[in-house]
Structure 1
Amino acid sequence: MTVTELTDEFSVLLLEESSTHADLFEMWLEGVQTKRAARPRDIFRVFDSTVAVACLSQSVLGEDEPDIRRFILNRNPYCQLILIASCSSPDILYEQHYDATIVRPTSREEFQTAVEKRLTYGMYSALLDEFYSLNAELVSLERAGDSEVDLDPDALQKRLQRVRKPLNQLTAAIDHADTKALLQSLNLHRKYLTEPAQAIDSEPASKYHPKACPNCKLPWGVDHRNDLGKGFTSIGAYVWRCSRCHDITHGSSPSDRRVARR
C-alpha cells in the first residue's frame, strides 16, 4: 500500500466475527495498524481517535448498526466507513449510509484499493482539521500573550511541523475526483449527525417546552440519536436554544414567545 509510510498515528478498525477473515484482512493491510472487534460491543472498547477507517461486516452489525455508526461518527466525523456486505443479501443493507462497500467474496487487490483510498481520505481530513486548529491556537497565543493563555508555543510549533509533512504528501496525492468524493463523504457524515429523527411522535409533547422549534420546525423532546440530541438546550427558565438553527425561544405559550437569532 502506498500510504503505509504515513500511517504511524492512524489505524484501521476491523469488525469481523471470523478470526480467519480478520487474519486475512490484517495480512492484506501489512504496514497499517489495525484494531479488531468480533462483536459490536467490542467497538466501544477498541475504537479511539487513531481510527481513520472502520471496515464493518454487515453480518455482525445487525440491530446495532445505527448505534455503531453514530458512536463512530460522534467521536470522529472524519472516520471513513466501509461496509463489508454479505454476498447472500439481495439488497445491500445500509449501503447508502456508507462511504464505500465491499461485497464478499473480495480479492486482495479490491480490499487493499478500497481501504487505501478511504485511509487517505480519513487521514487527510483529520490532519487538515488539526493543522487549522494548531494555527488557530498559535494565533490566539500571539494575540493574548504568553501570560494569558496556558499553551506551549514550542510544542505547538513542533506538532504543526509534524502534521505539515504528511499533510503535504497527501495533498499532492489527492486529485479533483478524490476531492469530490471526500466532500460527498463529509456531507454524508454531516447529514447523518444532524438529521432529525423520523419517529417524531415517539414521546408526548411537554408542557414545559414547545413541541418543535418555532423557527426551523425541528421536533423537540425527541431523541434524534445524533448531534441534535433532544432538539434543544435549556438555557434558562422557559428559554430554549434550538440544536439545529440555534434560535432562542422565550416564553411558555405561543402568545408569550420571542425568537431571537444568534
Structure 2
Amino acid sequence: MSKGNGGNEEETTHKEEANQPVVLLVEDERGLAELYTRFLEDIYTVRTAYTGDEALELLDEAVDVALLDRRLETWSGDQLLSVIQDRKLDCQVALVTAIAPDFDVADLAIDEYLEKPISREDLLELVEELLLRSDSDITQQELLALISRKISIENEKSTPELEGSDEYARLKRRIEIAKQRLNLDLEQVGANKHRPDACPRCDLRWDLSVGDTIGFLNLGSYVWKCTGCGSVVKVPDPSSRRVARR
C-alpha cells in the first residue's frame, strides 16, 4: 500500500513501472483511506494521502485518476481541484465525500461526484469508468478495431459466458464511450460477395465503417489490403476459374 509521507517509494516505483494506472486517493479518515486503498491496490497503483499537503506532494502528471475527499482538516477537495487546474494536470477527478451535492457542484471541474458510504464495487466501477473516459485520443481506426474485437469474442463465446465476463462488459462500455466521443455510429460497407467480412489474419472488420474509416484498401478487383495488420488478401478471378470435367 503506497502512502504519503514515509511511504514505500521503492514499491510505488515498482508498481508504476508495471504500467498500472495511477490513482491518487485523498482521504483524511485513515481507516477509510486504508480500506479504499485495499479495494484498489490489486488493480491499480494507489498513492494514498491523508492530508492536503501530502496530496500536493503526490499529485503529478503520472496520476490518471484523483479521488478527493471534499472536506479535509486543513484543505478542501475544492482547493485541490484548483491545484490540479493550475498545474494543468490531465487526470480524471471525482469527489468521494459524505457531503450531499448542492447546486455549487455544477461549477466544479470534476468528472464524477460519489456520496459515501460506498462499497468496493462502487469504487472499482467509478475508477474503471473514469479511466475509460480518459481515453480521449481514440481514433476512428481504433474504434473499428475495438468493435472487431467485440464481434470476434461474440462469435466464440456463448451468451452466458458473455454475460458473466467483466472484460466483455468493459469492452462494450469502452466502445459506447468512444462512439459518443467521436459522435459517430457504425455503417455497413457496400456488399461484395468476394471480399471477406473481416481480415483473415487480425479479424479487423471489412464489412463495417466508422465515419469515413474502413478496414481495408481495395488494391484491385479481387485484392484487398488490411489497414490494421497490412495483410494482403487475393481471391481468384471467378471468370478465370475452370470447371473440372470428369
**What is the TM-score of this pair, normalised by structure 1?**
0.44
Which protein has the bigger helix share?
1
**What is the TM-score of this pair, normalised by structure 2?**
0.46
Larger CA Rg, structure 1 vs 2 = 2
